[in-house]
Amino acid sequence: MPELPEVETIVNDLKKVLPGLKIRDVWSDLKKLPKNIKKDVVGKKILKLERRGKNILIYLSGNLTLLVHQKMTGHLLYGEYQKPNLKNQKWIAVEPGPLQDPENRFIHVLFFLSNSKQLALCDMRKFAKVAVLETEKIPEEFKKLGIDALDKNLTFNKFKEIIAKKAGKIKIVLMDQSLISGIGNIYSDEILWLAGTHPLKPANKLGERELKKIYSSIKPVLIKAIKARGSSYIDYRDAFGRKGYYQEMHYAYQQTGKKCKKGDGGIIKKIKIGGRSAHFCPVHQNL
DNA sequence: TGCAGTGTTGCTTC
DNA sequence: CGAAGCAACACTGC
């Protein structure tokens, strides 16, 4: 699910509430969590949070850092949950409101905090990654992660250097986290629609002009999506259980059969690229 | 009913 | 090495 704008939204939400709190306990029904996570994090204080690409870093006291990657359907929620009864083991929100969303039945990890609230990982497909690492090992952990799509150091020349030699299809290249981090299936479609580039075009066949258009589409699309608090295509919610609304502004992603918003008469088409769906306007996005 | 499709990534294979 | 295919999982909708 979450790409850079959704992760940024969640991290910004959590930055407002988590720093200063201590972790009192950990609950999970996932088998793949690190065995000693409870021993490692209980009693630790949350110091600060950071987003790197689509990764979430929660810095703890004791030189430890909690790393969360939400993968497809994961999202972190901040609230207060309880199990309603012994037969029904699903966690529900104590307070009425958006956190009582039925999607909360997919809560698989809970960090119990010192203010009686909890940090929950809700993840229908259970792809999400939760790890604890020593803070000084972060550079090693992220050594293969490409420059963040919103990094100020991502100049046009840097972008060109990273992208222009790749033989792969531009959509796939944009989604390659080891090159530029943060862009996924939704925002690669949106960026290419805005830039007017066909998603199948090989990156090394792009001209200077086309590269410039793609480069100058990345930040505006991502920043507009952050302002709209992300895209809630299926079950994405922010840290307080609210939907984003950028999906209402999508140009291409999941707009199959609709008129192109450039007004060029094109009808948004859906094709398959590398096992993913790709949406584009056949009129202004030419090969 | 069954199967294709869903925001990601990493492992395997060529 | 680069590129491609698929598995990890659970649910929805045709």
Q: What's the start-to-end Cα distance of chain A, in Å? A: 28
Place of tokens 């020593």: A134
Low-confidence residues of chain A: pLDDT under 50: none
Please report the pLDDT score of residue A217 as a whole number.
Answer: 98
Please state, in angstroms and as integers, the Cα–Cα distance from residue A14 to each residue in A23, A240, A254, following that order: 14, 9, 29
**Average pLDDT, rounded, for chain A:** 94
Please report the pLDDT score of residue A88 as a whole number.
Answer: 65
Q: Which of A126, A202, A276, A282 is catalytic?
A: A276
User: Which chain A residues 233-252 have CB under 7 A to strand C?
Assistant: none
Active site residue A209: no
CA of A181 to C1' of B13 (A): 26
pTM over 0.85: yes
Place of tokens 């080891």: A178
Shortest CA distance to A65 belongs to which of A78, A43, A48?
Answer: A48
Active site residue A19: no
Cα separation, A185 vs A32, whole angstroms: 26
Q: Which of A51, A52, A54, A171 is catalytic?
A: A54
CB atoms within 10 A of CB A90: 13
Shortest CA distance to A111 belongs to which of A47, A37, A26?
Answer: A26
Active site residue A202: no
* Tokens found for residue A8: 């940024």
Please report the pLDDT score of residue A86 as a whole number.
Answer: 63
Sequence length of chain A is: 287
